[in-house]
Structure 1
Amino acid sequence: MDDVERWWSQGEHCRLRLGGSERSIFRRRMGAGPALSMLHGFPSSSHDWARIADSLAEEHTVLAADFLGFGASAKPREHTYSLHEQADLIEALWAHEQIAATRLVAHDYGVSVAQELLARHAEDALAVELEGVHLLNGGLYPELHRPEPAQTALLDPEQGPKLSAMLNQELFAAALAPSFAPGYDASSDCAEIWHATSRDGGERIAHLLIRYILDRREHGERWTQALEQSDVRLAFTWGMLDPISGAHMAERIRERLGDAPFTALEDVGHWPTLEAPQRVLDSLRRAG
């Protein structure tokens, strides 16, 4: 059994109602103590947190789910995916798990979901108390986001479906590898992310999931305002060699949110929890 399958075997599926439909969502709940909810990135799964989850579960109730369309969760083919719906999913999961208050840790795609949850918090529209938000390498400022060529191709209305249809492990790894730091051997990580992506033919909906980039552009002002004016305690851990949302994004964060704890991982790319899990764990613990 490989590590991704082991991760899934230790979790469960729950049925959550989203937009009038019931969906099967994979989730893992571990440990005991104050709740810590973990939101993964694109195009991967909650397995991104596997290298730090056990340690965090010594002090927290850790809750990690696969978003709709990702990992072991349902992957409807004829569906309009959105970051707002994924935020609805997290709220439904909290209700299902009877979570009243939680810290959030989010990476990449999950960062945008966290921003929508912060916006709902600011509007007093969130039933759960956010006790802190810790963000890792995400497109907080859409105008600074630098999508990889494969992401741009997936967004194209004509090219996107064709690329999804022809996607295989070799092409996937070739597209994903440059997002890791130079010199880092990402082969096993790319294989694990492919395993999660390709479950139930999930690679065939990559062009549908990538629409989150358009969501970011459309709702960027709302989400930026929610972040910069938030009364929730914020912290950041950032892989500075990330070509997508790295040092250039970090510079803006430090300009606009200079009082928030910021841990720069100078030799790390887009995937801090995979490339430097112990340093991420240390940063999360320092931030409290």
Structure 2
Amino acid sequence: MIDLKTWRAAGETFNFSQQPIFTRKGGREGAAPLLLIHGYPTSSWDWNKVWPALGECYALYTLDMLGFGDSAKPRDCAYRIAQQADLIEAWLSSQGLREYHILAHDYGDTVAQELMARDNLRRASKTAGGCRLRIASVALLNGGLFPETHRAALIQKLLLSPLGPLVARFTTKERMAANLRAIFGAQTPPSQEEIDGFWELICQNNGKRALQRLINYMTQRKQNRSRWVGALQQSPVPIKLINGSVDPVSGAHMVERYRELVANADVTALANIGHYPQVEAPQAVVDAYLCFRAAQQRAANGARRQAAPVES
């Protein structure tokens, strides 16, 4: 585990629309780029337990999206998923990237779906417009991929209601901890250090006031269902789902729907793991991800051998 102080110390600032954004890079220089996209209401620190192992194989990129963690949390922001995708593409382009892989969780899954929708359109178009970024593969952890299977927690429903501003204002660390324990696996609850860190990052930059605005991603999922579910169904890139099965929000019931809607579904189900697999079972997530990428590499090597000219 990388403690929060150490995590922050390695961060950098990227300015997006005149707003400071916390970013972090690491891993193996020159290796394939892997973008890690965090969930709601936490931050990029969610990836600290898998960072060292993934960094042995990949050049890692992550950030606190607008309204999260150590990034800016402006009062007048609509916090649209499309805006978060704009932020990510602007940052990756500034890093000189052209192709990248994605590992996403929760809210980050929805952002990944928007990035995939854009990628699909660019591939279908004869011109890539002003952006040359291309997605190479996508791996998704627990998240609301389908609005019809997302079982929102009570606190999420309250934040989305007219009472949302009051609920956000009076939310406490103890209440947040109780909510987290309810969606983690019974055998893998968050540690006190994790609870303290999550809460500190939520409160940073008057962050509690952003909770109610950020939660509108649940409404956006319904409004954009065709685009974002279609992105999963139409993408030509390899897609992997790694899912904590006992997650009450997006666990086994979401996987069932995923298998119905996504052809040739590649799924790893983690028994007794809840909504935060990368926190609860980091080694299992790393193992599943590396197996996914190894299978991709074998398939690519086989395709190259078949395409190679036969010597006479």
Counterpart for residue 39 of structure 2: 41
Alignment of 1:1-288 (within 5 A): 3-16=3-16, 21-31=17-27, 32=29, 33-124=31-122, 127-157=132-162, 159-188=163-192, 189-288=194-293
Shift of 1:211: 0.7
Amino acid paired to 1:142: P
Q: Which moved more, 1:166-175 or 1:67-76?
A: 166-175
Q: Secondary structure at the match of 1:260?
A: coil
Amino acid paired to 2:105: H
Q: Which runs of 5+ in 2 are unaligned?
A: 123-127, 294-312
Partner Cα separation in structure 2 for residue 36 and residue 184 of structure 1: 26
Q: Which moved more, 1:187-196 or 1:225-234?
A: 187-196
Note if contact 2:189-2:280 (Cα within 8 Å) is conserved in structure 1. no
Q: Which moved more, 1:177-186 or 1:81-90?
A: 177-186
Note if contact 1:173-1:187 (Cα within 8 Å) is conserved in structure 2. no
Shift of 1:183: 3.3
Shift of 1:255: 2.2
Partner Cα separation in structure 2 for residue 186 and residue 121 of structure 1: 35
Q: Secondary structure at the match of 2:207?
A: helix
Shift of 1:152: 0.1
Q: Which moved more, 1:185-194 or 1:160-169?
A: 185-194
Identity fraction in percent: 40
Partner Cα separation in structure 1 for residue 188 and residue 143 of structure 2: 20
RMSD between superposed Cα atoms in Å? 1.3
Q: Which runs of 5+ in 1 are unaligned?
A: none
Q: Secondary structure at the match of 1:102?
A: strand
Note if contact 2:151-2:249 (Cα within 8 Å) is conserved in structure 1. yes
Partner Cα separation in structure 2 for residue 280 and residue 256 of structure 1: 23
Q: Secondary structure at the match of 1:123?
A: helix
Query: Matched residue pairs, number?
Result: 282
Note if contact 1:235-1:260 (Cα within 8 Å) is conserved in structure 2. yes
Note if contact 2:185-2:273 (Cα within 8 Å) is conserved in structure 1. yes
Q: Secondary structure at the match of 2:57?
A: coil
Question: TM-score under structure 1 normalisation?
Answer: 0.95
Shift of 1:221: 1.2
Note if contact 2:151-2:248 (Cα within 8 Å) is conserved in structure 1. yes
Q: Secondary structure at the match of 1:200?
A: coil
When Rg is computed on C-alpha atoms for both structures, the one with the higher figure is 2
For residues 106-132 of structure 1, what are the alpha-carbon distances to aligned partners after superposition, in whole Å with 9 as ceiling and x for unaligned?
A: 000000000001110111155211110
Q: Which moved more, 1:174-183 or 1:97-106?
A: 174-183
Partner Cα separation in structure 1 for residue 104 and residue 188 of structure 2: 22
Amino acid paired to 2:7: W
Note if contact 1:167-1:204 (Cα within 8 Å) is conserved in structure 2. no
Shift of 1:53: 0.9
Shift of 1:258: 4.8
Amino acid paired to 2:230: Q
Partner Cα separation in structure 1 for residue 290 and residue 117 of structure 2: 25
Note if contact 1:238-1:272 (Cα within 8 Å) is conserved in structure 2. yes
Partner Cα separation in structure 2 for residue 102 and residue 12 of structure 1: 20
